[in-house]
Structure 1
């Protein structure tokens, strides 16, 4: 080790406080980088495991393949496992007490199917031959059919065919039971064949069985050796390695071997970072790049300030080195060596601290997400060589960037200037000139404060820079968080209820009261919907999406475009609650022809490959909309009446599906509906939420009078809420990290800057500045810092927000909106943090003896 490096280490040991502050700054920065990388990887790992637990582990499925095609798929170099499955068909479940679920749905799997799909055995064993089955517990508990292990059952298995000419071909589990107007079954089984099965076990209801499916799932064994050349099965593939090229590879394999249809498990693949959509992939990469840049900027600002202040303190030391013959390169290398030593100590500790912090955080988070959302998997601290390598490399680059400018500056310090400390302090008239306005309005203390800042621009700029970076970090991440949640809500189905059931007015009133009085029920809505209603909307009031339609101008009649109207009517209780929620006048809705109009829509634009939020109509409160009857019985449209827009909102009432371009959702009272000439339907839909939907459904089904179809969407809705909540934990955790780093950065910079001004403050006191005047000066300095930081920070933050918005625009389309609440928080926080830091630091300086401070040689 050369003499300069030895002196650098000796200096670090001698100035333990400054060295410790610098090391802590780097540790915090590295810990943040590690934590962010760990959060991202761990979050993706959790969602991957949760999706596998809910839907099984598979990547590609080839539909309706024969045995030769199966062998080709197995031989493919990318194939790891092949799950063979077949939907055998439906059979009537004799003795079922559930009128809405009268079938058994028989599905066959080979051995790999039992391993790769979430089939949870309750009792007995899994089937091992084609004449053995396991049945769902729901058959015993819900359908009340007394099947037992060991029973031999004979079933006529066939295809469900609707007695409706508009529905062609066999129906699968996605089609609910077809009924006629009287509620009687309007479908039948065809092409049946008799099969005999032995029940060898029971399983829990499969997670993939949708709530409205008309058949209880039973699973049998698919013996590959018994497949004939004409037998068709589905080949579900687990790949050796998941990579983006799998989409093209699978498609080419299908085309080459005349396989008609290939699908991908996009729900799982997205958590591998493998996305088919070019727009979504661009969005992901763009956001990753922006967030990484934001993190690096925050880290550089924190570490740079630590090193810059360290070099400022060492300027006299570096000058003395120069006076005894140290070259520019040696002085420069001294700073780089300091960075190397601090990095060597800080990076390992920072990585360990980041991982430990995430481990502790995940312990608390797991309690929340498992208790509140029913997530079966836990967040685990997931390490990958890539994430740790990224954290280390970014930390090294950050330290290098942070030391580079101070190193260059150190190499240029001459011996005389360094020993005199004349480079830091500028006393020319022009350098410290202030406006007369400042003194006139704020007083002499404000002028002195401003001159103090101008005397040493580097410290002033370093502090302002820290504040600007902190503002940019917080606002960018807050905007990113809000928009990420918004994007997620656009891509989800957005069901707002747990259970839906059809009830008849009058006949079911007591039943409704009984259901809504249950302790588990938290929110409800009663609604009926009217079809065959339309309107003609003026061209300039139509939505932007409608105007992009091909042939838009061709459909205009007298400058108006045809809109479909979804007319929803709410009962009194539901309307009163909804009106209060959206800020509408309930009495106004009950009197006259007034309505709440949903003026925003969310939909997926398949052609553009993005999710869109846009205006449904451009109208104002008080304007009127013409309604026409669009009933096929009339040869021409019949004018009904005009309705007045009483309120505009983007919030749908519980149960409403939401519109699409060229449609409009209109909410009215039942009395308004009658005034329009419609009769409120006897059959209405009851929607409600419950804190235990499965228990609530059981209670309803136990009621003797209930013979209603109950649609429980809790499972599918729960997955959406899980995603939103986990994403919220991830993003708000990110905000907490960024905020903590920003505050540490500001406190460190300001406290160090104040501590280096001991002689300056002592001099002011020695010429008669009172404690009150000193406090006023500090307060004005805080204001100057805050105002200057906001002048630069807010516009730069808006630029960052626009970049994030543009990145999301590749996959999501909605209007740009500034986060005004976050901006207000930032403005208040900046002055609060700066003021607190200045007062805390100056309070320590006040305790210094004036004589001792004036004798101090280093600034």
Structure 2
């Protein structure tokens, strides 16, 4: 046995260049497997240990809960603990808005309410804690702890405007998202809440954490929460599940386990195929050498043992190095892999505190690499063990049991030599293209998702047309200040023809479009209260409503003919007792007048509009409406004039509190913040996959050239020039690249499109219209081509450093 081991070591030292290439391949593959394993484990650990910090320490939130119902819920045996919060009052800050809220101790802990610096929770009636941006809106100066500020507020958004002096006890963290949306939150004391809101008017949001959550599955816990809500007579729309926290706080459900097993199986299978191909290409041409050993008496068993030990020696050196490199690589890039984002400090802190080192994961990666090496050397072992000593000495890659005839050529061209080399062992060529193609298939699949995550689609939900969206910011059913309701504000003519003309005359404005809203009350449905119906042209109806249709019909001509309407919040369609084909009676509010109308419900949609109903312009024209119901204006302008136009629009609208101006650029930035985290993590995965594909291609090309050193030397001795040699090697690489692209584009795009459809069905942010990811694929193709050219050029130069005599005398 010692002789076999010595032969293995001697063979490795004699073929040092090939051994180094195989060792590097094993090391890098192990490192990549380690990075994938540690990163996945780190993300799981981070979410498991920090899920309460990141997503809140509660399983569900029940909204609209009365004081009596709150007491009933708090004593339920299924519930471990509850925390209550309540929106006490609203604050109007010009174009911005704020909410004064009360949190009890449990709610503060369960929702991870953050404070900065020396802040403390308000305890006195006149104390408040809020974001600095909120105070700046009120004080017009930089606030500090201990300052007093007068806050105008309305209890529960209703009643008269009250003013009260508060003392600042601290600050909540500022948020870019809050600044973009101009919406802020403030915390007030229990004393203020109880004095400001009578018991019968109090409405709570209750954070609920269930008992024994870790003993049930994700789906089981969700079902238990919904059943509890049903027992407590809490409407479905008032139940909000903390889905991500539930996922990490329970044993994974069947779907989660299936997804995890699938991803693990793909990674393992891909790794096995890659390493197998690397070993197969590197060792298949050593059979002749092993045949000489068979001829002098080595048995089949010893032959297998010698080849196996070569693999084990290389693994024993390369795998530990790969584990070390993989660990430090994970430690270096984990923040990127996990989706580092300065927008969320809690996520950053959770990532920084995650312990990446894991003995089971490192052991698993090492064992996996060892298994793949064992599988990879199996075929070369069988080839050398099965042939007779005489046949092994004469062994060539393209020999087999079937007798082959060799065809001669009058002229030998470079393309013929290239084709002959690749076809001499079709299996090796096909396996190389297949394994390279698999890595690129994964790239193309994910690129189909990343390339279609469009922040513009999300932004268009807020600013559907043009560069600016000017609308009326009003109430619907304010009984204390009815002049703030939509129908009364419309009487002020804030968007009449003269205003539209002023906007059109602004330098740089290229197009102005208007839209109409009307406040309506559906007779016999008091729960819906006052809602909004939007009057749309055929073009806008098809663009905004028809595209989001869930049931029924949104055919414009049918709607005109039948005086039809489409309900725009499909989730609440059944809950409100509506049915397709029903006729509903409404009162359209034209100022203080009521215009009766009867419409037929033809469909239900999720249209991302601010209205509840949609009707056609033709139907609206039949009504005798006297007022101007224009309530929204879309403004397009020249790109270079955008800043100047926005400034003039704000000057024009600054005279009324009811104007609300939103720019497309602001909406786009808001969408980017949401998409950025997910996209960055996916691109980090693409980076890892790209390294795997590159190492496989590099090893295949380099090994193929090194093992043909003698053959190439003979060709040059017969007259092949250095330039022709370089061109031949480039053509071989191009064939590998072309085959790889063919596989990746065919299977990758098919899998990518299926993934896109699945993500679209689940409502993933930014996913709507499918576009072929041309840019990503061109980048991938360019990188493959560039690497192939560089590798071929490098090996060509390396070969040319040796003299022809040395190359011809070269023995592997």
Output the TM-score relative to the length of structure 2. 0.66
Q: Evaluate the alpha carbon distance shift between residue 361 and residue 156 of structure 1 in structure 2; reply closer, same or farther with a 3 A threshold.
A: closer
Does the 8 Å contact 1:495/1:717 carry over to 2? Answer: no
Match of 2:58? 58
1:735 paired with 2:691, answer no
Match of 2:121? 126
In the alignment, the residues of structure 2 paired with residue 344 and residue 787 of structure 1 have an alpha-carbon distance, to the nearest angstrom, of 36
Instruction: For residue 350 of structure 1, report the CA deviation from its aligned partner.
Output: 2.1
Does the 8 Å contact 2:451/2:776 carry over to 1? Answer: no
In the alignment, the residues of structure 1 paired with residue 499 and residue 49 of structure 2 have an alpha-carbon distance, to the nearest angstrom, of 43
Does the 8 Å contact 2:84/2:104 carry over to 1? Answer: yes
Match of 1:450? 419
From 219, 233, 236, give the equivalent of 2:207.
Answer: 236
Does the 8 Å contact 1:89/1:107 carry over to 2? Answer: yes
In the alignment, the residues of structure 1 paired with residue 440 and residue 808 of structure 2 have an alpha-carbon distance, to the nearest angstrom, of 40
SS at match of 2:356: coil
Match of 1:33? 33
- After superposition, residues 298-447 of structure 1 pair within 5 angstroms as 298-312=270-284, 314-316=286-288, 318-323=290-295, 325-361=297-333, 369-370=341-342, 377-378=347-348, 379-380=351-352, 383=356, 385=358, 388=362, 391-392=365-366, 394-422=368-396, 430=404, 432-433=406-407, 444-447=413-416
SS at match of 2:121: coil
In the alignment, the residues of structure 1 paired with residue 541 and residue 150 of structure 2 have an alpha-carbon distance, to the nearest angstrom, of 64
Instruction: For residue 726 of structure 1, report the CA deviation from its aligned partner.
Output: 2.5
Does the 8 Å contact 2:12/2:19 carry over to 1? Answer: yes
In the alignment, the residues of structure 1 paired with residue 73 and residue 310 of structure 2 have an alpha-carbon distance, to the nearest angstrom, of 65
In the alignment, the residues of structure 2 paired with residue 301 and residue 215 of structure 1 have an alpha-carbon distance, to the nearest angstrom, of 54
Q: Evaluate the alpha carbon distance shift between residue 433 and residue 52 of structure 1 in structure 2; reply closer, same or farther with a 3 A threshold.
A: farther
Match of 2:8? 8
Q: Deviations over 1:258-306 (max 9, x none)?
A: 6665431236556779999x9xx57x955x6665555445533442233
Does the 8 Å contact 1:130/1:220 carry over to 2? Answer: yes
SS at match of 2:187: strand
Does the 8 Å contact 2:29/2:271 carry over to 1? Answer: yes
Does the 8 Å contact 1:121/1:201 carry over to 2? Answer: no
Farther off after superposition, 502-511 or 249-258? 502-511
Match of 1:201? 169
Higher helix share: 2
In the alignment, the residues of structure 1 paired with residue 281 and residue 389 of structure 2 have an alpha-carbon distance, to the nearest angstrom, of 19
- After superposition, residues 75-154 of structure 1 pair within 5 angstroms as 76=79, 79=80, 82-87=81-86, 89-90=88-89, 98=93, 105-111=100-106, 113-114=108-109, 116-121=111-116, 125-127=120-122, 134=129, 137=132, 140-144=135-139, 149=146
Q: Evaluate the alpha carbon distance shift between residue 296 and residue 466 of structure 1 in structure 2; reply closer, same or farther with a 3 A threshold.
A: farther
Q: Deviations over 1:333-362 (max 9, x none)?
A: 444444344334333332332332243345
In the alignment, the residues of structure 1 paired with residue 439 and residue 106 of structure 2 have an alpha-carbon distance, to the nearest angstrom, of 52
Match of 1:164? none
Does the 8 Å contact 1:536/1:563 carry over to 2? Answer: no
From 68, 71, 74, give the equivalent of 1:70.
Answer: 74
Match of 1:843? 797
RMSD value, Cα? 6.2
Structure 1 gaps, min length 5: 162-186, 518-522, 567-601, 608-630, 638-655, 667-677
- After superposition, residues 756-835 of structure 1 pair within 5 angstroms as 756-771=707-722, 773-775=724-726, 777-789=728-740, 794-801=745-752, 804-805=755-756, 808=759, 811=762, 818-824=772-778, 830=784, 832-835=786-789
In the alignment, the residues of structure 1 paired with residue 541 and residue 499 of structure 2 have an alpha-carbon distance, to the nearest angstrom, of 43
Match of 1:247? 222
Instruction: For residue 25 of structure 1, report the CA deviation from its aligned partner.
Output: 0.5
SS at match of 2:102: strand
Instruction: For residue 838 of structure 1, report the CA deviation from its aligned partner.
Output: 3.3
In the alignment, the residues of structure 2 paired with residue 351 and residue 256 of structure 1 have an alpha-carbon distance, to the nearest angstrom, of 54
Structure 2 gaps, min length 5: 472-493, 517-533, 574-589, 600-606, 618-626
Farther off after superposition, 829-838 or 48-57? 48-57
Q: Evaluate the alpha carbon distance shift between residue 856 and residue 836 of structure 1 in structure 2; reply closer, same or farther with a 3 A threshold.
A: same
From 505, 514, 528, give the equivalent of 1:528.
Answer: 514
SS at match of 1:725: helix
In the alignment, the residues of structure 2 paired with residue 679 and residue 851 of structure 1 have an alpha-carbon distance, to the nearest angstrom, of 95
Q: Deviations over 1:733-763 (max 9, x none)?
A: 3333333332332222122111211222233
Instruction: For residue 493 of structure 1, report the CA deviation from its aligned partner.
Output: 7.1
In the alignment, the residues of structure 2 paired with residue 152 and residue 791 of structure 1 have an alpha-carbon distance, to the nearest angstrom, of 67
Does the 8 Å contact 1:500/1:687 carry over to 2? Answer: no
From 791, 808, 811, give the equivalent of 1:854.
Answer: 808
Count how many residue pairs are aligned between Structure 1 and Structure 2. 705
SS at match of 1:143: helix
SS at match of 1:120: coil
